[in-house]
């Protein structure tokens, strides 16, 4: 697959200015400005980051009610060039009225109206040249695709009926290495019907079949879903319409200034471990930490994995060591010139087991050996 080359390119481009967060440095996630407003610093996915972090890409200027920990009144979000990318209004944390997002060239990207924190009516999307792209209706309980135009300007869906073929980016790291996925199928009365596919798409446009789905002809509900990569069935379909990350800003979540956090790789580790080790009837009410060391080649492939700080019991460690060897890739270390090199990384994580014996792995962070 395309994983190694694409990920190393992204890794080198974004991460060359620093591999490890400086834990001793003061972190500034927001600060007051002379007008009485507050300026917040976010990455692309609206997680708070330090104002000097290489991954900072959005600044929000807004009133903020400290007692309630919420945004208030009009706000504007700016990109690194000072261009407005989003504007809207909060009434003590509740989204109200028109919200408008903009492409980097200043043209309207999408527009929608909120009422009591929920979108109402049509959410309209536009191409960077200003031409219509997609209309999604929120008047009913089911979200409906009402209109769609392809990049050639041809209307493929009208009044909720037609054919849909839409490509979206993966937001975070996936172990298959593809940057995009394409959703394709028929729409009737705004809902998916019949046979649908999802293809993984690389930067050259090459497609690989990823999932096959069948939606009920009467209800539009997924009746069958099959993941070809995992050789497994599922019940929850992938996204149909563009994902809006600005919702995350309201949760005021922060991330360290590390590529493993920004890219979602640490979250991937958490989900991977938790999915492979779901529960044990003999282990309950446990909070523990662990670490393991990995020798990586310059492509990010593990050549040796060693458990360093073990968990409390032999049974837990047996489970843990089973998973360690199932992680196929880690981002490698970079030298001072930004070139990927072979080296050692140490992964730290935590395990929580509740009173029902369900495992949850979390709080992953990665430390790379420092290079001269």
Backbone angles phi, psi at 9, to 5 degrees: -65, -50
Domain segments of the chain: what residues? 27-250, 258-368
Nearest to 108 by CA among 134, 138, 141, 75: 134
The pTM (predicted TM-score) of the whole model is: 0.85
Kind and range of the H or E element at 213?
A: strand 207-215
Does residue 4 surpass a pLDDT of 80?
no
Residue 334 banded pLDDT, cuts 50, 70, 90: confident
Structural tokens at position 35: 């007008």
In contact, 132 and 124? CB cutoff 8 Å:
yes
Q: Scanning the structure block, which residue is given the tokens 């050259």?
A: 204
Structural tokens at position 284: 């309950």
Backbone angles phi, psi at 168, to 5 degrees: -130, 150
Structural tokens at position 25: 């440095």
In contact, 91 and 294? CB cutoff 8 Å:
no
Q: What's the pLDDT tens digit per position in 128-178? A: 999 999 999 998 788 999 999 999 999 999 999 999 999 999 888 888 889
Residue 181 banded pLDDT, cuts 50, 70, 90: very high
Region 195-200 average pLDDT: 97
Nearest to 162 by CA among 187, 197, 143, 132: 187
Does residue 44 surpass a pLDDT of 70?
yes
Angle between helices 265-276 and 314-324 (to 10 degrees): 120
Nearest to 134 by CA among 121, 113, 120, 150: 150
Instruction: Mention the CATH class of domain 258-368.
Output: alpha beta
Structural tokens at position 253: 């979540």
- In 36-66, which positions are buried (b, 16+ CB within 10 angstroms) versus exposed (e)? ebbbbbbbebbbbbbeebbbbbbbbbbbbee
Work out the mean pLDDT of the chain and round it to a whole number.
Answer: 89
In contact, 113 and 119? CB cutoff 8 Å:
yes
CA atoms within 13 A on the CB side of 87: 8
Q: Scanning the structure block, which residue is given the tokens 């009485």?
A: 36
Rounded Cα–Cα distance for residues 4 and 242 (Å): 26
Rounded Cα–Cα distance for residues 254 and 248 (Å): 10
In contact, 347 and 294? CB cutoff 8 Å:
yes
Does residue 190 surpass a pLDDT of 90?
yes
In contact, 188 and 161? CB cutoff 8 Å:
yes
Looking at 298-342, which runs of residues are DSSP E strands?
302-309, 333-334, 340-341
Q: What's the pLDDT tens digit per position in 279-297? A: 777 788 889 999 999 999 9
In contact, 207 and 198? CB cutoff 8 Å:
no
Does residue 371 surpass a pLDDT of 70?
no
Rounded Cα–Cα distance for residues 251 and 156 (Å): 36
Rounded Cα–Cα distance for residues 218 and 141 (Å): 16
Backbone angles phi, psi at 142, to 5 degrees: -90, 135
């Amino acid at each position: 697959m395309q994983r190694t080359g694409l990920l190393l390119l992204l890794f080198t481009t974004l991460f060359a200015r620093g591999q490890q967060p400086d834990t001793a440095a003061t972190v500034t996630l927001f600060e007051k400005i002379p007008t009485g407003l507050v300026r917040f610093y976010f990455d692309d996915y609206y997680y708070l980051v330090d104002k000097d972090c290489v991954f900072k890409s959005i600044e929000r200027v807004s009133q903020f009610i400290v007692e309630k920990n919420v945004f208030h009144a009009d706000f504007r979000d700016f990109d690194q060039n000072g261009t407005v990318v989003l504007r809207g209004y909060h009434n003590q944390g509740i989204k109200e009225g028109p919200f408008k997002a903009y492409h980097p060239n200043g043209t309207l990207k999408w527009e929608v109206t909120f009422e009591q924190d929920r979108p109402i009516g049509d959410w309209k999307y536009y191409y960077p040249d200003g031409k219509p792209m997609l209309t999604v209706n929120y008047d009913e309980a089911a979200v409906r695709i009402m209109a769609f135009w392809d990049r050639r300007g041809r209307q493929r869906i009208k009044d909720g009926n037609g054919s849909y073929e839409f490509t979206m980016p993966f937001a975070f790291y996936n172990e298959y290495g593809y940057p995009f996925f394409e959703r394709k199928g028929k729409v009737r009365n705004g809902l998916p019907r019949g046979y649908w596919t999802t293809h993984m798409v690389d930067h050259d446009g090459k497609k690989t079949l990823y999932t096959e789905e069948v939606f009920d002809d009467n209800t539009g509900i997924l009746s069958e879903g099959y993941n070809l990569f995992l050789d497994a069935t599922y019940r929850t379909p992938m996204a149909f319409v563009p994902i809006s990350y600005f919702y995350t800003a309201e949760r005021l979540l922060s991330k360290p200034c590390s590529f493993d956090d920004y890219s979602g790789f640490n979250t991937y580790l958490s989900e991977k471990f938790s999915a492979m080790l779901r529960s044990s009837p003999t282990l309950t009410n446990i909070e523990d930490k662990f670490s393991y060391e990995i020798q990586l080649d310059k492509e990010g492939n593990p050549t040796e994995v060693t458990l360093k700080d073990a968990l409390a019991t032999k049974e837990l460690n047996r489970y843990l060591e089973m998973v360690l060897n199932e992680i196929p890739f880690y981002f490698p270390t970079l030298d001072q010139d930004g070139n990927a090199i072979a080296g050692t990384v140490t992964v730290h994580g935590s395990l929580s087991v509740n009173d029902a014996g369900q495992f949850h792995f979390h709080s992953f962070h990665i430390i790379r050996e420092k290079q001269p």
